Structure 1
């Protein structure tokens, strides 16, 4: 299935709050954060506060992310 990338910015721009007030041109390793990334980070910090550093869980999450990206 082919997907047009032309419409992608219009479809996802609202997911990046910084774009509401800035033109963000820092596209290196510290790019603009989407709402999904901010939410995931908040869950990560909440979990750390509650349970400490759950090493095994985060290794599993990293492996799952790698598998997901490998499937692209």
Structure 2
């Protein structure tokens, strides 16, 4: 009976340890996925910001051209 109890305890401890490792692995996968999503959001924000900057530069250029045209008149 004593050996049987020890074996059962060892088996349960091994199973618990395996479950814990699986859970940690799943948590790491979730964290990795969240980091990837955050990175994608940041990259998208940077792209949008670049687009806005380009649009502003184009508008400034058009205004400068108009001012130059007016000066020529």
Common fold, TM-score beyond 0.5? Answer: no
Structure 2 length normalisation: TM-score?
0.31
Which of 1 and 2 has greater Rg?
A: 2
